[in-house]
């Protein structure tokens, strides 16, 4: 059963919540990952930045591999890197369950998604706020997740961009129901509620969750 089917068992809408480790305390990554797992996280989101496609540099595959030993939660790896084909195998081997790429970074997007699928992982496309949905039209058969960027990629703590709600609703109408629509950036209970009303299934939460004092309560509020 797909994650999206699971999310609507018996008509009850369960919203999936994936904490982004970018907003965790970098001196206590492993502990904070276990804390959010205990608080009810549905998976862990790893923001991989290469200092080229976006300015910041974050985690390498060895960091993901080290954390893989601590939890069995699904890991989604969001590659904000130029030419991700160079890195897909390393992140797959590190224990990623899904690998998400930006169309602007791929020479041959369909081939990149195909590589991810052939590695046995879920594939995802991340759409920047200014990126239209056209690039995914002929990839739907090898696509599991659309990550709608509700901020521009590169850092946490930015403000949610309202215009992306229309994109979410257009995607939900066009995509098969088994494709997960996940929102990333500026998520809080109020912005995520609007996203869900427009057809989103899941969210990434960075600063909202890690700035809160009670992770369990924060995840509950998001759901
Ligand atoms: C932005 C990243 C996001 C970010 C989310 O480039 O893809 O995952 O860390 O952080 P918040 O929730 O603070 O916007
Ligand atoms: Zn992300």
In the reported structure, the alpha carbon of residue 10 is separated from the centroid of ligand 1 by a whole-number distance in angstroms of 31
Report the residue among 59, 147, 154, 158 best suited for mutation to probe ligand 1: largest number of ligand atoms under 8 A from its CB: 158
User: How many C-beta atoms lie closer than 10 Å to residue 136's C-beta?
Assistant: 20
153 in contact with ligand 1, CB cutoff 6 A: yes
Q: For this structure, is 47 an active site residue?
A: yes
* Mean pLDDT per 10-residue segment, the chain (223 residues): 49 80 98 98 98 97 98 98 97 98 97 98 98 94 97 97 98 96 98 96 98 97 94
Residue-level pLDDT at 10: 43
Residue-level pLDDT at 1: 47
Cβ neighbors of 121 (< 8 A, separation 6 or more) are 92, 96, 97, 98, 99
Catalytic entry in 42, 47, 50, 144: 47
Ligand 1 atom closest to Cα of 150? 14
- CATH number of the domain at 200, please: 3.20.20.70
In the reported structure, the alpha carbon of residue 20 is separated from the centroid of ligand 1 by a whole-number distance in angstroms of 7
> How many structural domains comprise the chain?
1
Residue-level pLDDT at 188: 98
In the reported structure, the alpha carbon of residue 6 is separated from the centroid of ligand 2 by a whole-number distance in angstroms of 22
3-state SS, residue 94: coil
Q: What residue's CA is closest to ligand 1, atom 9?
A: 156
Ligand 1 atom closest to Cα of 207? 13
State which residues form the domain around 187. Answer: 3-222
Angle at 199 between CA 195 and CA 200, to 5 degrees: 55
Bridge partner residues of 45 (DSSP): 20, 76
Q: What residue's CA is closest to ligand 1, atom 4?
A: 156
Q: For this structure, is 162 an active site residue?
A: no
Asked if residues 157 and 206 have their Cβ atoms less than 8 Å apart, the reply is yes
186 in contact with ligand 1, CB cutoff 6 A: yes
- In this prediction the pTM is 0.94
Residue-level pLDDT at 4: 55
Residue-level pLDDT at 11: 44
207 in contact with ligand 1, CB cutoff 6 A: yes
Cα–Cα distance measured from residue 218 to residue 40, given in angstroms and rounded to the nearest whole number: 10
């Amino acid at each position: 059963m797909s994650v999206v089917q699971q999310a609507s068992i018996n008509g009850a809408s369960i919203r999936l919540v994936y904490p982004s480790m970018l907003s965790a305390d970098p001196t206590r990554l492993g502990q904070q990952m276990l804390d959010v797992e205990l608080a009810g996280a549905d998976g862990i989101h790893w923001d991989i930045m290469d200092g080229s496609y976006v300015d910041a540099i974050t985690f390498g595959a060895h960091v993901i591999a080290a954390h893989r030993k601590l939890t069995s939660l699904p890991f989604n790896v969001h590659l904000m890197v130029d030419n991700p084909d160079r890195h897909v195998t390393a992140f797959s081997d590190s224990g990623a369950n899904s690998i998400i790429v930006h169309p602007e970074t791929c020479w041959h997007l369909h081939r990149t998604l195909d590589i991810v699928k052939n590695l046995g992982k879920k594939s995802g496309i991340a759409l920047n706020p200014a990126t239209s949905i056209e690039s995914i039209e002929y990839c739907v058969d090898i696509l599991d997740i659309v990550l709608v960027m509700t901020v521009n990629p590169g850092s946490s703590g930015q403000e949610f961009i309202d215009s992306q709600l229309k994109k979410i609703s257009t995607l939900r109408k066009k995509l098969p129901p088994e494709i997960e629509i996940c929102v990333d950036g500026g998520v809080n209970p109020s912005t995520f509620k609007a996203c869900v009303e427009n057809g989103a299934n899941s969210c990434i939460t960075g600063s909202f969750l890690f700035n809160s004092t009670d992770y369990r309560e924060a995840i509950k509020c998001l759901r």
